[in-house]
A and B are shown apart, each in its own frame.
Chain A
Amino acid sequence: MAVSTGTKYDVIVIGGGHNGLVNAAYLARAGKKVLVLERRYVLGGAAVTEEVFPGFKFSVCSYVVSLLRPEIIRDLNLPRHGLEILPLDGTFTPMPSGDYLWRVNDHGKTHREIARHSKLDAEAYDEFGKAMQAMCRFVKPILSMVPPDPATLNPKELMKLLFIGRRFQGMTSEDKYNQVQLMTMSAIDFLDQWFETDVLKATMSASGIIGTLLGVRSPGTAYVLLHHYMGEIDGAFRSWGFARGGTGAISNAIADAAREAGAEIRTEAGIAKIIVKNGKAKGVVLANGDEIYADIISSSVDPRLTFTKFIEDGTLPAEFLEEVRRYKFRGSSGKVNLALDALPNFKCMPGPGAHLRGAISISPSVEYMEKAYDDAKYGNFSRRPYIDMVIPTLTDPSVAPPGKHIMSCFVQYAPYKLRPGLNWDDQKEAFGDNVINTIAEYAPNIKDIILHRQVVTPLDLERDFGLSEGNIFQGELSLEQLFFLRPVPGWAQFRTPIKNLYMCGSATHPGGGIMGGPGRLAALEILKDFKGAA
Chain B
Amino acid sequence: MNPLNLSRRQFLKNTGIVGGGLVIGFSLSGCSTPPWPIAEVEGGYSPNAFLQFTPDNAIRFFCPRDEMGQGVMTGLLTLIAEELDVDPQRFTLDFGSVHPDYNNPGMGVQATGGSNAMRAHYHQLRQVGADTRSLIVAAAAHDLGINKDQITTENGEILVDDERYPYSDFIATAAGMELPENSPLKAHSTFKYIGKDAPRVDALAKATGTAPFGIDARVDGMHHAVVRRSPVAGAMLVSVDKQTVLSMPGVTDVLEISSGVAVVAEKYWQAKTAAAALDPTWSEVALSEVSTETVKADYNAAMLKDEGISATSEGDAASAFTAASQVLEADYWTPFLAHAPLEPMNAVIRLGDNEAEIWTGNQSPVGVQGLVARFSGIEQDKIRVHNMYLGGGFGRRGTLTHIIEVTEIAKASGKPIKLTWSREDDIRHGLYRPASLIRMKAGLDEQGNIHAWQAKRAGGNISPDTLKNVFPALFPGLGDGTLNFLADLAEDVFASYLADPSSIEGLAEGYDLPNHDVQHFTVDHGLPLTFWRSVGHSNNAFPKEVMMDELAAAAGMDPVEFRLQNTKNNPRLHNVIRVAGERMQAMNPPEGHYLGFAAHGSFATDVAEIAEVSVENGKIRVHRVTCVVDCGLAVTPDVVRAQMEGGVMFALTAALSGRIDLRHGEVVQSNFHDYQILRMDEAPDIDVVIIRSEDDPTGVGEPSVPPLAPAVANAVFAATGQRLRSLPLELSYGRLMPNSASTSSVCSPCLGGRW
Asked if A and B are interacting partners, one says: no
